[in-house]
Structure 1
């Protein structure tokens, strides 16, 4: 589609995510992003500013619309990956706060640590976002891949990766000079910067499957911080590779959020 969506980290270097990026020159290896050449997803051509490009789903996998969680004591609690479905916003307070808390080491292999930050003033519960990020990245179908690396959530300043949830205006500022146009997320250096409107509303072509979209969004942007570039759909009807620009177009593939979807899920996963 000639447009691009998230970006990458190469240790000690900074890279971002961008709109309307020209196609790489012949011979360029698109499997890895460059620390100096920004890469990113563009916005749909008819989206305009895009801040309200997708409505929060009226029916998610649990049949819940815009209820935040957890609910009142004694009520059935939302699954971790579907909590804090809130209204879309244009802006918030502009300051980021680290969500306190650390996890056990998840998986085997060399350790990669990550911290979670949420912009002050956003609707919803920051702990819900942190819990979702932790569940996604700790799953064997994510970047740990049954021994490739282990991951641990921390709340210090020295985390290897930082996953941020921010309002569109803040995303645009943090992703500059790339133009995220109030719509897409990005990765900039070691920061995976998630657009709150995409987190709560998804995109139309995921057919209200917000859970899968959220899994995709975290794994895609974190993938950029780990040095992975964009790829295309492998064939009509295939599961989309996680580094495909699924926010823009499925290209005939089926929506997929996992890096290694054939791995066994975590024992405590909400999925069947």
Structure 2
């Protein structure tokens, strides 16, 4: 896929109160809205659910999420460069040469500043069909470049293999409050708070109402069973959580060796399928 053209990074600060009432999608595969107040972080989390009428939607909790961690994205991307006898490029050179979907491979964090901002500017309309607008939000204090995340989200949602599917819908990034979808990159602590009452346990991402909430640690590290294919995992992560905001629920692997459906919970288990990030591979 071609790299997105660089753009100036102008940021507008907007504050979103943590007690914001959030809408929930998904009841029996159809889109429904229920307003719930986000509890404080010390509230007892609810049990994970594939679809729920009383809380957000996520990939649930891995059984041993506290005892093991996937290989970091930094290790994944740098593996070839670290081979014996190979020269190690400088960080700036490596970053410039990295494809759009592999930029800003950073260390994991537990928390950031807690302030969420919308990244300024708009994109052209991508694709054909009814228009769906989306805003990209980033929590302040995260490592990496905001523009790298923006470019990746645009490249994924603008691809005909995503939810546009050559005419099903078109996408455009905007920076207003009235965007149809909001894609947020946030630290695990913030994800846990904004996904409550679902227990994301600092590990998984979720969708809550029209917001796809991406766990920064999954964005930079992926998961072990994707075999260091961070690019495919990032494509999956955006398409999966955006799919929830569009009203799609979880599905299972259709058969051994087949491409995993994008709404399968691939963060937890491939179930015998092959890793896949595209809605229409």
Report which of the two structures shows the higher radius of gyration computed on alpha carbons: 2
- Structure 2 Cα separation of the partners of residues 41 and 19 of structure 1: 14
**Stretches of structure 1 lacking an aligned partner (at least 5 in a row):** 1-6, 24-32, 262-272
Alignment pair present for 1:92 and 2:112 = yes
**Where does residue 48 of structure 2 map in the other structure?**
21
**Superposed, which structure 2 residues align to 1:119-138 within 5 Å?**
119-138=139-158
Alignment pair present for 1:160 and 2:180 = yes
Quick check: which one's helix share is greater?
A: 2
Work out whether residues 70 and 83 of structure 1, in 8 Å CA contact, stay in contact via their aligned partners in 2: no
- The TM-score with structure 2 as length reference comes to 0.78
- Structure 1 Cα separation of the partners of residues 176 and 133 of structure 2: 10
- Matched residue SS, 2:97: coil
**Where does residue 71 of structure 1 map in the other structure?**
92
The equivalent position to 2:64 in structure 1, one of 33, 43, 46, is 46
Work out whether residues 8 and 223 of structure 1, in 8 Å CA contact, stay in contact via their aligned partners in 2: no
* Shift in alpha-carbon separation, 1:215–1:8, aligned structure 2, 3 A: farther
- For residue 44 of structure 1, report the CA deviation from its aligned partner: 1.7
- Structure 1 Cα separation of the partners of residues 266 and 95 of structure 2: 34
Work out whether residues 82 and 210 of structure 1, in 8 Å CA contact, stay in contact via their aligned partners in 2: yes
- Structure 2 Cα separation of the partners of residues 80 and 64 of structure 1: 18
- The TM-score with structure 1 as length reference comes to 0.80
- Structure 2 Cα separation of the partners of residues 75 and 141 of structure 1: 26
* Shift in alpha-carbon separation, 1:14–1:226, aligned structure 2, 3 A: farther
Work out whether residues 142 and 258 of structure 1, in 8 Å CA contact, stay in contact via their aligned partners in 2: yes
Deviations 1:80-112 (A, max 9, x none): 000000000000000111111211101111000
Work out whether residues 70 and 78 of structure 1, in 8 Å CA contact, stay in contact via their aligned partners in 2: no
**Superposed, which structure 2 residues align to 1:112-261 within 5 Å?**
112-261=132-281
- Structure 2 Cα separation of the partners of residues 58 and 237 of structure 1: 27
**Where does residue 13 of structure 2 map in the other structure?**
none
- For residue 35 of structure 1, report the CA deviation from its aligned partner: 5.1
- Number of residue pairs matched? 241
- Structure 2 Cα separation of the partners of residues 22 and 199 of structure 1: 22
- For residue 59 of structure 1, report the CA deviation from its aligned partner: 3.3
- Structure 1 Cα separation of the partners of residues 78 and 260 of structure 2: 20
CA RMSD, 1 decimal: 2.8
- Structure 1 Cα separation of the partners of residues 113 and 104 of structure 2: 18
- Structure 2 Cα separation of the partners of residues 181 and 250 of structure 1: 20
**Where does residue 110 of structure 1 map in the other structure?**
130
- Structure 1 Cα separation of the partners of residues 25 and 91 of structure 2: 33
Alignment pair present for 1:60 and 2:77 = yes
